[in-house]
Chain A
Amino acid sequence: MKVAEEAAPGLRRPSRWLDLRGRHEGAWAYALNRLTAIGLIAYLYVHLGVLSLLAHGPSTWNSFLATTKAPFFTALDAVVLLGVLFHSLNGIRVVLTGVGVAVRWHRLLFRSLMALAAILFLVAGLLWSIRG
């Protein structure tokens, strides 16, 4: 015997959207949408904070740019782009099905949009490497 959960096991728990055991792709889409939303909101403020360096003049901004060549920043850019692509394309599914369009094909719609996200990510990587 072991303690499984705290008292009143069936009561509401707001964090339950993160518990994806036994769930289908719709719940995964919702949870990932939330996670990317939280990440993108955080990134919005990081981005705005970084842009404040522009107010300090050319030397501050240009020396900051030199530090962004580090692999860490490229990796961060890739993560942000993945988040943006997932959130945007899943958003199209949420809006379309949310007004009654393609409701019966929501799974196919989700899979197609995620395939498109993967293609766009690869294209972006290709552009990134060509541009240098």
Chain B
Amino acid sequence: MRAGFGIEKRSTTSWLWQAATGILLLPLLALHLIANHFVVAGGERNFAEVAACMGNPAIVVLEVLFLVVVTSHAMLGLRSILFDMGVPTRWRPALGRGVAILGVLTVAYGIWLTITIIR
């Protein structure tokens, strides 16, 4: 350690994950927007159309993948924004865990909703 600056690595892979999820989001988000909002009359599907759409396993897999990737990207971003708000270093691990829990809950909610719609 020199002059108070260390080589500890607690969060340096975050940038890479943020970049990777961001790249993955480009095709996933484009697909989501085009398939669900642009090629659909009125921009939204009615209940019967949603149910029919979610009957296709490939669409379900893609939508869940989209949910996981978009939530990961959002949570990494949220964590970065919160850290940049001047949060004391000692609080960062707890804040990071809190954001991770929020992400897990978000994905769990999305999967629950998907299962409910399919049924």
Contacts and interface: CB of A to CB of B under 8 A. Distances in A.
Does a CB–CB distance below 8 Å link A and B in the complex?
yes
Interface of A: 12, 14, 17, 34, 37-38, 40-41, 44-45, 48, 51-52, 54-55, 57-58, 61-62, 65, 68-69, 77, 81, 84, 88, 91-92, 94-95, 98-99, 124, 127-128, 131-132
Interface of B: 15, 19, 22-23, 25-26, 29, 33, 37-44, 46-48, 50, 70-71, 74, 77-78, 81, 84-86, 106, 109-110, 113, 116-117
A33 B84 CA distance: 14
A132 B110 contact: no
A69 B22 contact: no
Main secondary structure of the interface of A (DSSP, over half): helix
B45 to A, nearest CB: 8
B78 A69 contact: no
B84 A124 contact: no
Given A34-B81, A128-B38, A65 B46 contact: yes
